[in-house]
Amino acid sequence: MYPEISNPLDYHAALYIRLSKEDETEGPSQSVTNQQSLLKAFARQHRLSVYGTYIDDGFSGTSFDRPGFQRMIADIEAKKVNMVITKDLSRLGRDYIMTGHYMERYFPEKGVRYISLLDGIDTGVESSANDITPFRAIMNDMYAKDISKKIKSVKRDKQRKGQFIGGKPVYGYKMHPTEKNKIVIDEEAAFVVRRIFGMALEGVSCRQIAVRLNEEHIPTPAVYAGLPRGTKGAYRGQWSSERISEMLKNETYIGHMVQGRTVKISYKSKKCRAQPPENWVVVKHTHEALIEEDAFRKVQLLIGSRKHTRSRTYDFLLKGLIFCRECGYPMAVMNRPNAAGEERLFFVCRTYQRFTKAGVCTCHSIKEQTVTEAVIAKVKEVCQAFLCPDRLQPIAAAAVEKARKADGGEAEIQSLQSKIENLSANLDQVYMDRLGGLLSGADFDRICKRVRTDRAALEERLKQLEAQKEKPVSAEDLARKLVRQYLSSACASRELLVSLIERVELTDDKQIIIHFRFREPEAVSQGNRLQ
């Protein structure tokens, strides 16, 4: 029994229709035509004014990111629609959480009356059918989950049989013109793939291969396939070393079907999670090879031999803080010898380094030491405005006095004397072991050298403490010395720099722009740009 509507002139109805592939298994009664005729007949019978019909054909109910549904929501927001009618609750959605959100919160807040014809649900009247709506939503969700498991099982079975189930074959292949789930060589793209492997066999690096392809304006795999090229940026539409490396490692080119690289997080989400290689589904000799297996293996050896160069990193004080002002990407660091043959670190723009011929950015080359010294000088200037030596002096003096009261140096002198005596006794024992034949000459020399070095360091420290005891330094002088050391060395601390600086930008004309994490004092705020 369909719901009755006593005041039809008060409503502007939206007829919502949805059909997905899993719904087609329920029979023709779920078709778009069937749903549309049923909803229109209901609207005519109750003299409802239909504002629009919203259709999502081929969209799963587990997601509400559907064009027709979103268009209906926009009309609800614009107050053009205040009634939504569907054939049953599963047409609205199969995610019980989001379905409950729209029925229990969104529609009531927007003053929208929702009617599900076959379920007898009508939020405009009090009904027992409305009370069991959450349970219906859960059952619809469970149905979607069960269908998802079955589809996933079928796809996994096809993968194990070596059948291609992806949307687009890997670059260099295309779908077979007559046979389903089979790929064949695409000669136009295969020429580029063979050339890439040929250059790799000649010892050309992945980055140099990408540079050559970009210079010749050869379309990337995404451009060639007509796929969306992602977000705008410096690398958009450009070959990259990462893309080349991925292609050179892909066993699809030697006739093996490689699938299952990613899996969906959930049947309710479109996001995928990358899988480790041991979880990939690899079936050998399923299609014609584009690259000979021997050549492919040689390329893998060449790539592996260069791993140590790619993994090499350099430690420097401003690591992770340096960016290109023009393109916004982090700066790369390179080790170059100067005129005297001494190795020096240089910053260069990573975008320019990877796409030199594309003219996307410029080199920005500058010595790492120059940038570091300029940044430290600026930080010192800023810190001087906050830290006054006269204010630090009493704090340091109090700390020195407290340390002297706690220890006085006498305990350390006694400890050093005891350690020196123990080391001397150890030397005597080692000598006796050598005489008794328990130690070889080499071991004796090694142990003696280490013990004597440790004893000499302790004796030097003992001399310093005894000298201080005879001529003690005043607490005031020691405190002044500590303040000077702190002010001169604190600004070169990486921990302090990371805490103070958000990022450092290098411009094309080699200016250094520092972005602090705080507002600078007026006296030094004009000094942000350093030559």
What is the DSSP track for 378-447?
HHHHHHHHH--HHHHHHHHHHHHHHHHHHTTTHHHHHHHHHHHHHHHHHHHHHHHHHHTTSS-HHHHHHH
Q: In CATH, which of 3.30.70.20, 3.40.50.1390, 3.40.50.10420, 2.40.10.10 is domain 8-146?
A: 3.40.50.1390
Segment 171-211, tens digit of pLDDT:
999 999 888 889 999 989 999 999 999 888 887 888 889 88
User: Mean of the per-residue pLDDT values for the chain?
Assistant: 78
Give, for 40, the enclosing helix (H) or strand (E).
helix 32-45
- At 413-469, the pLDDT tens digits run 777 888 888 888 878 887 787 787 777 887 788 788 888 888 888 888 888 777 766
Contact criterion met (CB below 8 Å) for 312 and 286: no
pLDDT band at 67 (very low <50, low <70, confident <90, very high): very high
Is pLDDT of 92 > 80? yes
Cα distance between residue 22 and residue 145, in whole Å: 11
Report the CATH superfamily, name and number, of domain 173-308: Putative Large Serine Recombinase; Chain B, Domain 2 (3.90.1750.20)
Distance CA 279, CA 258 (A): 11
Q: How many CB atoms lie within 10 A of CB 309?
A: 8
DSSP line for 295-349? HHHHHHHHHHHTHHHHT-----TTTTTEEETTT-PBEEEEEEE-TTS-EEEEEEE
Q: At what angle do helices 241-248 and 293-305 cross, to 10 degrees?
A: 130
CA distance 140 to 93: 8
What residue ranges do the domains of the chain occupy?
8-146, 173-308
| 331 within 8 A of 364, measured Cβ to Cβ | yes
Quote the pTM value: 0.46
Question: For 327, what's the count of Cα atoms within 13 Å in the CB-facing half-sphere?
Answer: 23
In the structure encoding, which two tokens stand for residue 50, read together?
A: 């239909």
pLDDT for the residue numbered 334:
81
Amino acid at 127: S
Cα-flanking dihedrals φ and ψ of residue 122, to 5°?
-150, 110
Q: Look at residue 274 and give its three-state secondary structure.
A: strand
Residue 524 has pLDDT above 50, yes or no: no
Better-predicted residue by pLDDT, 183 or 485: 183
According to the model, what pLDDT value does residue 114 have?
A: 93
366-392 pLDDT per residue, tens? 888 888 888 888 877 776 665 555 555
Contact 362, 349 (CB under 8 A): yes
* pLDDT of 277 higher than 90: no
